[in-house]
Amino acid sequence: MRLRDSESDARFRKEVRAWLAENLPVLGPPPAYGDWPARKTYDQRWQRMLFDAGYAGIDWPAAYGGRGATASEQLIFLAESAAAGAPDLGVHFVGQLHAGPTLIAEATDEQRAFHLPRILRGESIWCQGFSEPGAGSDLASLRTRAVRDGDHYVVTGSKIWTSYGFAADYCELLVRTDPDAGKHRGISWLIMPMDLPGIDVRPLRTIQGESEFAEMFLDEVRVPVENLVGRENDGWRVAMVTFGFERGTSLVRELLTAMAMVEELATLAKTLGHGPGRTAWDDDAIRREIGQVAAELDAMWALTRRNVTRAAGGGGVPPAGGSAFKLTYSEAIHHFGEVAMKVLERYAISLDALPLGAGASLPVGRHIIEHLHAFAISIGAGTSQIQKNILAERVLGLPRER
């Protein structure tokens, strides 16, 4: 594994750092937590700034508006963005991290030429319509059906946990196109424009108290056949391509943000009182646990860089690498949340920043939100139990579950 920047990587890092220092103040502070309409505008503005500066889609092909750079430069960009406190992708999560990459891998030239530049410019927001009330872990049981009628599929059914459904322009949608085929065989992957008649999106409230995701009801929605990605009834294979991106690379920025937050937690531990004349930092057990979390996240960052170096050298990514990464990260982030709650102790009852007087405050709320968010990480894109099943069967070669 290469631990030092190459000369060109070092140049790129310097350039990104300078650009962030100059442009983040122009963007201004983020909107209030959970104010998704304002967040949408904010995320779109930042995405456009990145695009104009050549930092959108760093490892996407230049032909589709990307930078056409290396995965190593992509990691540098993510690391510098996290260190500078730049916004994460927000409403662009699905489009940039798994719908876009799936289109790069599987779509027609026309579909790529239309959608990819719009995603990178921040003009089109995507959501994911995979899960249904009766099809989560067992996704292949999905029942939303699409019946061919001339140049259209007529889609009827319902989806659930549709992240960014309230804001989306397009949906990566899994539908059943052949009800008589085996359950993995009769599925297709469609691009559904979200402004078609018959789509009803209803917000769902999360444990974090906001409405990032929604239920989606589809009543005879007419989706053009030209919006099929891959072949008809081959959607399960295309969905596995989507999951390959969603379970792996999409969590790297989250990891980097968590690493920055461990540093912040150490500062909080040195500041917050834990009994008379003591801070949390005076407690050996808490200090040790903060160190352990930092080491777990550091190890994941090393694993990420190793995988990128290996892939760049033609070594490919390890089998089920995305599942291993997601499972380990989920466990590390739950551990982080538990340690953060021990540090915050009685201060963990309010999401507000803790006022210190003279305008200063401590960001305790961020840590409570991250603690709750850990539950989302270990469920979304396949639960930890499902990742364990995948690793058991595909890596360890254990018998398949019945």
- Determine, following the binding rule CB under 6 A, whether residue 166 of this chain makes contact with ligand FAD: no
246 is known as an active-site residue: yes
Residue with tokens 């730049």: 86
Identify the three-state secondary structure at position 201. Answer: strand
The residues, ordered by sequence, that sit 6+ positions from 293 with a Cβ below 8 Å of its Cβ are: 262, 332, 335, 336, 339
**Region of 1-9, 145-153, 191-199, 381-389 interacting with ligand FAD (CB under 6 A):** 381-389
The residues that bridge with 228 in the sheet, in sequence order, are 190
Among the listed residues 42, 51, 161, 189, the single contact to ligand FAD using CB under 6 A: 161
Cβ(96)–Cβ(89) under 8 Å?
Answer: yes
Q: Which of residues 329-368 bind ligand FAD (CB under 6 A)?
A: none
Residue 98-127 contact track with ligand FAD, rule CB under 6 A, x = bound? -----------------------------x
Amino acid of residue 334? H
- Determine, following the binding rule CB under 6 A, whether residue 162 of this chain makes contact with ligand FAD: yes
Residue 129-148 contact track with ligand FAD, rule CB under 6 A, x = bound? xxx----xx-----------
Among the listed residues 44, 128, 144, 177, the single contact to ligand FAD using CB under 6 A: 128
Give me the catalytic one of 73, 212, 246, 289: 246
Q: Alpha carbon of 110 to those of 115, 123, 162, 167: distances in Å?
A: 9, 18, 26, 24
In whole angstroms, the minimum distance from the beta carbon of 227 to ligand FAD comes to 18
Cβ(63)–Cβ(6) under 8 Å?
Answer: no
Which token pair is 26? 């122009």
Among the listed residues 260, 379, 391, 395, the single contact to ligand FAD using CB under 6 A: 379
- Closest Cα partner for 210 from 98, 129, 91, 326? 91
In whole angstroms, the minimum distance from the beta carbon of 150 to ligand FAD comes to 28
| HSE toward the beta carbon, residue 217, CA cutoff 13 A | 5
The residues that bridge with 234 in the sheet, in sequence order, are 187
Q: Which of residues 198-237 bind ligand FAD (CB under 6 A)?
A: 213
The residues that bridge with 191 in the sheet, in sequence order, are 172
The residues that bridge with 128 in the sheet, in sequence order, are 172
Among the listed residues 163, 304, 307, 387, the single contact to ligand FAD using CB under 6 A: 163
Q: Which of residues 292-311 bind ligand FAD (CB under 6 A)?
A: none
Site residue total, ligand FAD (CB under 6 A): 21
Cβ(179)–Cβ(188) under 8 Å?
Answer: no
Q: Where are the beta strands (DSSP E) in 66-209?
A: 126-129, 145-149, 152-163, 170-176, 187-193, 199-204
Among the listed residues 95, 117, 321, 380, the single contact to ligand FAD using CB under 6 A: 380
Minimum CB distance to ligand FAD smaller for 171 or for 290: 171
Minimum CB distance to ligand FAD smaller for 161 or for 325: 161
Minimum CB distance to ligand FAD smaller for 55 or for 130: 130
Please identify every residue annotated as catalytic. 246
Under the rule (CB under 6 A), what is the footprint of ligand FAD? 127-131, 136-137, 161-163, 213, 376, 379-383, 385-386, 389, 401
